[in-house]
Amino acid sequence: MRRLVVLPEVGSTNSWLKKQADFHRPFCGVRAVRQTQGRGRLTRSWHSDAAGEDLTCSFVLPINPAARHMAPLVTALVLYRVVKRYADVRIKWPNDLLFHGKKLAGILCESIPEADNLIIAGIGLNINSLEFPAEISEKTQSLALATGQKYSVQRIWFEIFRELTRAFRHAVFPLPAAFIAAYNAVAYRYVSRDEVSALPLEFKTLLPDGRAVFATAEGSEIILDMAG
């Protein structure tokens, strides 16, 4: 049985959902009008101070226990297909959405310790915010800033929910060729990995196991996983 709730304020939608045993069923979810302690990948934070302006939400999704690491990629392609209806976005491997090089959305997938066939996918999508803190303003974007229009946060939340439900009911692992081709077609061309190269790496292709092939500035190829 699906269950969706909206909370006026919460620290982190992922953390809240982890603690709600009644929600540990496929396609349950939560949206926060205001999220005060949003988290991103690699212990990064997610800015979401403007109450009601942007989308911060999490969903419980079914997953093959051996393929939990694939969830961010499937979620990213779903999110791309929804947001593409509003703006010309790209996926920065593995799971950020960019508009003309600026970050529009991020995804954080986390396991539920007592349910290895489920995963929590947390999504932060900048929708109607017009200002961001100085330290991130040069690298951050919203749909409103990108298009000059305001949007219904609730409507976009429901659109994402519907598409995630379809995608995770039929997800196949390892990632099939059709998924890889769809992902490659909308992938942002460059990523930075300072621990690998001082210069940007050029995205070449997603691999069936979720890793990706990149070309270095020197012309060699390197395979990266999602851990870094």
Indicate whether 104 and 214 sit together in one domain: no
Please write the tens of the pLDDT for every residue from 6-24.
Answer: 999 999 999 999 999 999 9
pLDDT > 90 in the chain, percent: 77
Indicate whether 80 and 161 sit together in one domain: yes
Indicate whether 98 and 160 sit together in one domain: yes
Identify the domain containing residue 212 by its residue range.
189-224
Indicate whether 203 and 91 sit together in one domain: no
SS (H, E, C) 44-110: CECCCCCCCCCEEEEEEEECCHHHHHHHHHHHHHHHHHHHCCCCCEEEECCCEEEECCEEEEEEEEE
Indicate whether 180 and 220 sit together in one domain: no
Indicate whether 105 and 147 sit together in one domain: yes
Peptide bond preceding 174: is omega within 30 degrees of 0, i.e. cis? yes
* 8 A C-beta contact, residue 184 and residue 178: no
Q: Please tell me the predicted confidence (pLDDT) of residue 117.
A: 94
Q: Strand, helix or coil at 34?
A: strand
Q: Which tokens go with 180?
A: 């890889």
Indicate whether 155 and 199 sit together in one domain: no
Please write the tens of the pLDDT for every residue from 66-117.
Answer: 888 899 999 999 999 999 999 999 999 999 999 999 999 999 999 998 899 9
φ/ψ of residue 33, rounded to 5 = -65, -40
Mean pLDDT taken over the chain: 92
Indicate whether 119 and 35 sit together in one domain: yes
Q: What is the CATH number of the domain that holds 22?
A: 3.30.930.10
What is the rounded CA–CA span in Å between residue 120 and residue 2?
14
Question: How many domains are there within the chain?
Answer: 2
Indicate whether 204 and 151 sit together in one domain: no
Please write the tens of the pLDDT for every residue from 153-190.
Answer: 999 999 999 999 999 998 888 999 999 999 999 999 99
Give the total residue count for the chain: 228
Q: What is the pTM of this model?
A: 0.92
- pLDDT category at 206 given cuts 50, 70, 90 is very high
Q: Please tell me the predicted confidence (pLDDT) of residue 170.
A: 87
Indicate whether 127 and 205 sit together in one domain: no
Indicate whether 16 and 119 sit together in one domain: yes
Indicate whether 136 and 201 sit together in one domain: no
Query: What is the average per-residue pLDDT within 119-137?
Result: 93
